[in-house]
Structure 1
């Protein structure tokens, strides 16, 4: 597929990634690229009701629900395969990227089979593979790490999507796809240059808005969310996906034993 035609949204995003380090795809554009109609998006968003507590975030005072999985993505052919998840291997971020979890082995429940097979997810990963090619055209296979998140803000408090503050993930491409917001204000996403300058700052407030950034040359963070109606809780659902060249095949770095379904 030719990604060089300047009139296409994908080509525009690729150019922004390669030159500015970040790009926002509006919700209407992303839904069109994913071929996701109202019914498809409703089905996709329902997977966020099946997430499990993140005990590591809870230890820091943040109520966050999540799952985790990995895919192998071949951008030239569009081939995509869900990598098997091994219970004895944790999710580990590279040294000197995430200050809260540097050197910490974290175990999360795996993606459900229905989520891993959802056509919207698979279309999103294919789209990200096309975008990531602007950052490294030599990659023949990407490792896509998939993190569906729900951050909850109590009726009288705040929820922090990035308790670690500004950080890198130690990957090539990092992305955040808004899936849903409920009774929430705040949650502004900002991409920074290494010297602290803001490169792009936006509140993802419409489902399917997609923010992508070159993680090698930028940092990112998200401001806390709070309830619009202080008598009710708020939540923010996002799909965070990162891409890095795959150097080992068919072995996961994630998914420990199930941690239970209780809610924080």
Structure 2
């Protein structure tokens, strides 16, 4: 693990951290991004997504029952106040040692309480010469959770997707700007910062894809 930047505080834990996880190989996850279902809540069919929730116990990683993603319009004015349903992560993906390692990194760095619930979003954003892809169509926002992690799996023929952190929703007070490359992650205290990721467009001819995991605690899933 190479820690690139870290900022810590005393109110509700750390502030944010960007790091490279050398112990996790993002290439093992790449095949599982090729069959993601389209996100039915976003117009344009440029975003593909799965979602599951987990609990880390003394016996390992426990997948929790299927649930619905729910955020209020205070946090997501685009698709807030509705129950959104996504297909679960592939069983073979969840069995990977690298997947367990990623959840443990998130748990340990955020000092999550025993039994805390973690949501894992598996997201592909696509783009073409005719249409950009928007990883954050809701704009500058907070998720309404405690902690957020964005872990980059792959960037294929894309430019853009720069992750920004702000201290206010106005976007005038940026404290972090970074394009996340495969193997890099940013962990964010969602109570303290707003975040945003810029649109993606092809770097050359043809279409492009950006693949990430987004982890949250709590999961924001409801029964």
Q: With structure 2 as the length reference, what TM-score do the two structures score? A: 0.88
> Which residue is 2:103 aligned to?
125
Task: Indicate the structure (1 or 2) with the bigger Cα radius of gyration.
Answer: 1
> Which residue is 1:201 aligned to?
177
Which digits, 9 at most, give the CA deviation of each residue in 1:172-207, with x for residues without a partner?
A: 110100000010001100111126411211011x21
> Which residue is 1:259 aligned to?
none
Note if contact 2:38-2:45 (Cα within 8 Å) is conserved in structure 1.
no
Tell me which of 16, 28, 31 is aligned to 2:7.
16
CA RMSD of aligned residues (A): 2.4
CA distance in 2: counterparts of 1:186 and 1:65, whole angstroms: 18
Indicate yes or no: 2:222 matched with 1:253. Answer: yes
CA distance in 1: counterparts of 2:182 and 2:136, whole angstroms: 19
Tell me which of 162, 167, 171 is aligned to 1:188.
162
Indicate yes or no: 2:91 matched with 1:98. Answer: no
In structure 1, list runs of 5 or more residues that go unmatched. 1-7, 247-251, 255-264
For residue 41 of structure 2, give the secondary structure of its aligned residue in structure 1: helix
Return the offset for 1:31.
2.2
Indicate yes or no: 2:92 matched with 1:143. Answer: no
User: In the TM superposition, what are the counterparts of 1:73-92 in structure 2 within 5 Å?
Assistant: 73-74=56-57, 77=58, 79-85=60-66, 89-92=67-70
User: In the TM superposition, what are the counterparts of 1:50-89 in structure 2 within 5 Å?
Assistant: 50-57=35-42, 59=43, 61=44, 63-74=46-57, 77=58, 79-85=60-66, 89=67
CA distance in 2: counterparts of 1:78 and 1:214, whole angstroms: 27
Q: How many residues align?
A: 218
Structure 2 CA distance for partners of 1:18 and 1:95, relative to 1, 3 Å: farther
Note if contact 1:187-1:224 (Cα within 8 Å) is conserved in structure 2.
yes
Q: Could you say which structure has the higher strand fraction? A: 2
Note if contact 1:22-1:211 (Cα within 8 Å) is conserved in structure 2.
yes
Q: Could you say which structure has the higher helix fraction? A: 1
Which digits, 9 at most, give the CA deviation of each residue in 1:20-42, with x for residues without a partner?
A: 7211103xxx022x3x3xxxx43
> Which residue is 2:29 aligned to?
44
For residue 25 of structure 1, give the secondary structure of its aligned residue in structure 2: strand
Note if contact 1:53-1:65 (Cα within 8 Å) is conserved in structure 2.
yes
Which runs of at least 4 in structure 1 moved beyond 2 Å after TM superposition?
15-20, 77-80
